[in-house]
Amino acid sequence: MKIVVLDGYTLNPGDLTWEGLEALGDTTVYDRTPADQVIERSKGAQVLLVNKVEMTREVLAQLPELRYIGVLATGFNVVDIEAARERGIVVANIPTYGTQSVAQMVFAHLLNLTQRVAYHSDTVKAGRWAESEDFCYWDYPLIELHGLTMGVFGFGRIGRNTAQIAKAFGMKVIAFDEYVQDPGDPNVRMVDLETLFRESDALSFHCPLTPETQGVCNAERLSLMKPTAFVINTSRGPVINNADLADALNRGVIAGAGLDVLEVEPPTMDNPLMTAKNVYITPHISWATRSARARLMQTAVDNIKAFSEGRRENVVN
């Protein structure tokens, strides 16, 4: 079995091993693959592993030996699922590897926003504490999470994990998910979308990108929020209209935002969020702890092993 990894660098920049894949077949790993080299590098492979490389109908038509595509992520929109099905190509993803890591990043952003950790650290390094007349100082209100309301948009695995952490901080939890009526937790209240935006002190997004969720956080809904509220997004960039969020931040409609994803990635420097007030942006790294990547790697190997044995593991088509 010939296995080709087209963009393996973000999964394994050198701190993991490809030995599990190599044990399953003749394996070639490319750190990155430009669009004009996808077909050439994929020729002859029965198994392809991709993260962000797009497998379009046109590409698949030129790979007659391909039988399996493993997406090294949860989202599988980079693959034309219908075209793969028509050609008998199995497509599998990695659904659960990053639950704890992504939820952890939610609170890294939220604690930074409420305690202004990065800002105050920068002032200390600039010498301000050394020159202070007092033993302490703060330039912004410091906010306690206990008693505040955490809103969770999307109550799947990561949303539920986020809710558990929020409760550990003493926060109230409300959630919206059109597919979930019973949260299975008496301390979580399911609400409608308008209530979610109105009542949340911190609103965290944990949903796939679909036609229904694209742009769901827009100017109209942001206007419903408290001026003291924060928005956190570790799910998919396009669920938030970036221009609307930047405008809301600049006009004080909401207090701040912590984002690990943007509408276009990598972003261009003319994205209005680059200059918006009180927004902290990380480069899509909530999934990237070593623990999470090791789980991802192992699941990718297990998926392919199952496929080679005629079993279906995490198949999405």
Which residue among the candidates 109, 120, 236, 295 is catalytic per the annotation?
Answer: 236
Q: Which residues of 243-274 are buried (b: 16+ CB within 10 A; e: fewer)?
A: ebbbebbeeebbbbbbbbbbbeeebeeebebe
Which residue among the candidates 157, 198, 284, 313 is catalytic per the annotation?
Answer: 284
Q: Which residues of 184-220 are buried (b: 16+ CB within 10 A; e: fewer)?
A: eeeebebbeeeebbbbbbbbbbbbeeeeebebbbbee
Q: Which secondary-structure segment (H or E) carries 51?
A: none
- Active-site residue 236, yes or no? yes
Beta-strand runs (E) in the chain: 2-5, 26-29, 47-50, 68-71, 90-92, 149-153, 172-176, 188-190, 202-205, 230-233, 256-259, 279-281
Residue 52 and residue 22: Cα distance in Å, rounded?
22
- Active-site residue 293, yes or no? no
- Active-site residue 58, yes or no? no
Which residue among the candidates 19, 82, 86, 265 is catalytic per the annotation?
Answer: 265
Give the side-chain half-sphere CA count within 13 A for 125. 6
- Bridge partners (DSSP) of residue 2 are 26
Residues annotated as catalytic are 236, 265, 284
